[in-house]
Structure 1
Amino acid sequence: MNLMLFGAPGAGKGTQAKFLIEKYGIPQISTGDILREAVKNETEMGKEAKRYMDDGKLVPDNIIIGIIKDRLKEEDCKSGFILDGFPRTIPQAEALEELLKELNISLDKVISLNVPDEDIIERITGRRVSKSTGKIYHIKFNPPVDEKEEDLYQRADDTEETVKKRLDAYHNQTAPLFDFYKNKGILVEIDGTKTVNEVTKDIIAVLN
């Protein structure tokens, strides 16, 4: 089963990917992870990517696609995969289409986790991290039992200003992919505002 998880930052893609990995025994392909792995393993594409990263530049799409190509050829992807974090733009989606065609693979479903911006902002800005244990809490949904025991702080990425900028970038660059995959008839919309377990059940119902 070849899947893609789609949705704004904080929509719950990472959480749902963990359940899908367990249930279907297929790997999650996160572009950030495979990029770091390719650089660490000094693959041809990894070396290319490192040159850009060392200069503080964005890694070009063709190199990212090359790294995804290498990853999709690995043995654990034979029975399927979960794409997470790519594509982010229409040109990337078109390049991915070409790659999948070349590898004779097709996407079965694009799962869109739909969560309103105000909920995303509440989810992310409410996150707190414990300096002593590294545990992540949420001031509303998952507060520590005793706040005095935990030295909590808010990460710079989790401030309202930063979250709004990330959402703006998502709506401008990534949201058009919604129609791109809807027109192909493989987009499935899931209400991401439900509980984690309910969202998982809804996804599995669609896939079964």
Structure 2
Amino acid sequence: MEKVNLETIDPKIEPIEEKLHRIGRAAIGAIPVVGSPLLEIFNSVLEAPLNKRRTETMLAIGAALNDLIEQGVVTEAGLQENEAFVSTVAEVCNISLRNHQAEKLEALRNAVVNSALPTCPSDDYRQIFLNFVDVCTVSHIRLLKLFEDPDHWFTKNKRSKPYQTTVSLSQIIASAMPELIENHEILDSIWSDLYQKGLVEVKQLEMILSAESCLSKQTTHFGSKLVAFLS
């Protein structure tokens, strides 16, 4: 079965006339300041890093899709006719240019792969989820994955669970991700954001619960759909 040709994605192989400023000029077109000075700055500073990000994103996506093609899950022809998949690829390429953190880029790659599957969520869900990844922090994603199944998370990551009879969600976070608990302003803002978006059930991190409750799922059905889309 024919696979995606990853060699044509690499700018070292791609014809020079096709790669020059394809992404960069589009980005500059969105900036209210125009003219040759800005283009010169772009040429000397931004073009290579932006092209590198785009290439790395497309290679990662292509490799993942080739795995699906080899497994017989999808076909190249089917992907070309899959409107949700095509739209997701276009959006992910744009979002990836604005992000550098590996966990966010991995989430974006997973979103593309999941959009190619029959289980892809509807357009409304897909758009909301991609917008979330675009504006969220890596800590948003980490906390969602932790509280999708805290008990499993501790086992999988070989971390010690808090063993008090009663604990709070903040104590769960302190045991799982101590670096997050050090800055309460940031953590409180992130958690408030997750709660307001309807992704987690509990509003207050300091609410005292039983250890069993704290180590059980805290994400909403909506939050679980997001975690699945990014996994």
Q: TM-score range by the shorter chain?
A: under 0.3
Greater strand percent: which structure?
1
Greater helix percent: which structure?
2
TM-score between both structures, scaled by the size of structure 1: 0.27
Q: Which has the higher contact order (CA 8 A, sep 6+)?
A: 1
